[in-house]
Amino acid sequence: MSVSAVFVLDLKGRVLLSRDYRGDVSLKVAEKFIIKLNELEEAGKVTPVFYDDGVSYCYITHSNLVLMTVSRTNANAAAMLLFLHKLRDILTTYFGELEEESLRDNFVIAYELLDEVMDFGWVQFTEAKILAEYIKTDAYKMEVQARPPMAVTNAVSWRSEGIRYKKNEVFLDVVESVNLLVNSNGTVVRSEVAGALKMRTFLSGMPECKLGLNDKVLFDAQGRGGKNKSVDLEDMKFHQCVRLARFENDRTISFIPPDGAFDLMTYRLNQNVRPLIWVECIVEKHSRSRTEYLVKARSQFKERSSANNVEILLPLPPDAIAPTVRASQGAAVYVPEKEALIWKIKSFPGGREFLLRCKFGLPSVAAEEEAHGRMPPMRVSFEIPYFTVSGIQVRYLKVIEKSGYQALPWVRYITTGGEYEIRMQ
């Protein structure tokens, strides 16, 4: 990817910051960009990448700013977009809040960063932690160093050498989010599990980590598919630290981790998920002006598990009057600005059922059903510790470092409700 120049504009198209790397474009490309963008908006064909008069434009927006790259060459559009997102993250890390005012207050350091992230239009460093080693936030000029930081010359660009901890620990959270849509007749329309392996590492030196999962592809290759429970992971995406060639060869996740928190891997499973918390709402219309909800919430997971911080959002008509609520467990609060009743249950053990009754009045109008139309779906959020829907398991997590220290790995499993919706009858 060869970038000719980088611009930061305000929403009116005025140039706040620019850096010409190759000298093959005019600074007037910023004016042409705004004119072309307005034309595309009027035509309803706005795209983050477009080509005009021999120049490729790529841009993203953030707050009241537009970050843009231009290129005369046939550049990789996805790589340019990725660079702009990385640049946004770097500036946000340095300035706290990235907006026009913070950028104007830090022009010197912003230009220093633009000089370091690219060299003659080629991307160099996009890790804020590495840049922070020699461009200090509280200094408005680059500190003179006898040599570049270790990470510049090191093949592991995401980790610096010389990191030391008194206690070496690794925390791994296997977090699965259940996305579910259930029709009013009880049919599951959409079900998906989005998972992530979230790590926090506090390790000295340059450790080599190895992680093993109950991966179906690996178990089948070893002839253990029928004996052990395995999961067939789809759409896996890894952090750049993972050695992809090693994974493709023997399905071992081997890596030198960044320092601190990062997402090691994300995955997805398109499988038929049984609703973990089933909610049924029976609407009883006693008269044109009096309506009652009878809500049943049932946990459909094993008794040894328990869902925490359960919130069930029950939509009410926008003109509901004085709702009164009785719940067998937890508490319910009417939230007028959301036009809903929120039922909160702190702890919901598996295999249990709780009830809620809600009575409310309505204005006495003859065509109330036509006026209200279809009600929005009920939404459920929750968190179930020590539980995964997919059955994924961490078989081992090893940390090897040349100094030979012993690291303590901690693994926990959490299932949460993502876009979890149940349509009302």
Give me the pLDDT at residue 425, please. 75
In a domain, 164, yes or no: no
Q: Are 293 and 282 in contact (CB under 8 A)?
A: yes
In a domain, 93, yes or no: yes
Closest CA to 297 of 319, 276, 267: 276
Same domain, 266 and 394: yes
Determine the Cα–Cα distance for residues 300 and 322; give it in Å rounded to an integer. Answer: 33
Same domain, 249 and 292: no
Same domain, 310 and 195: no
Query: How many structural domains compose the chain?
Result: 3
Same domain, 76 and 111: yes
CATH number at residue 25: 3.30.450.60
Give me the pLDDT at residue 371, please. 45
Same domain, 395 and 340: no
Same domain, 239 and 295: no
pLDDT higher than threshold 90 for residue 349: yes
What mean pLDDT comes out for the span 60-82? Answer: 87
Same domain, 26 and 89: yes
Strands (E), 88-133: 118-119, 122-123
Give me the pLDDT at residue 168, please. 94
Residue 377 token pair: 């779906």
pLDDT higher than threshold 60 for residue 190: yes
In a domain, 163, yes or no: no
Domain ranges, residue 247:
169-273+389-422
In a domain, 397, yes or no: yes
Give me the pLDDT at residue 347, please. 96
For the ranges 24-33, 79-88, 405-414, the lowest mean pLDDT is seen at 24-33
Task: Express as a percent the part of the chain with pLDDT over 90.
Answer: 39
Determine the Cα–Cα distance for residues 180 and 280; give it in Å rounded to an integer. Answer: 15
Give me the pLDDT at residue 259, please. 93
Same domain, 145 and 26: yes
Same domain, 15 and 135: yes
Determine the Cα–Cα distance for residues 3 and 37; give it in Å rounded to an integer. Answer: 20
Same domain, 115 and 230: no
For the ranges 105-114, 221-230, 315-324, the lowest mean pLDDT is seen at 221-230
In a domain, 326, yes or no: yes
Same domain, 249 and 315: no
Q: Which alpha helices (DSSP H) does 118-228 contain, by range?
A: 128-131, 150-153, 216-221
Mean pLDDT over all residues of the chain? 85
Quick: pLDDT tens for 243-297: 998 888 888 899 999 999 999 999 998 778 889 999 999 988 887 778 899 999 9
Chain CA centroid to CA 407, Å:
28
Closest CA to 196 of 137, 237, 141: 237
In a domain, 173, yes or no: yes
Task: Indicate whether this model's pTM tops 0.85.
Answer: no
Residue 137 token pair: 């936030």
Give me the pLDDT at residue 227, please. 54
Q: Are 57 and 68 in contact (CB under 8 A)?
A: yes
Determine the Cα–Cα distance for residues 415 and 302; give it in Å rounded to an integer. Answer: 14
What mean pLDDT comes out for the span 160-189? Answer: 92
Where a domain ends, among 153, 182, 215? 153
Same domain, 39 and 134: yes
Determine the Cα–Cα distance for residues 164 and 205; give it in Å rounded to an integer. Answer: 6
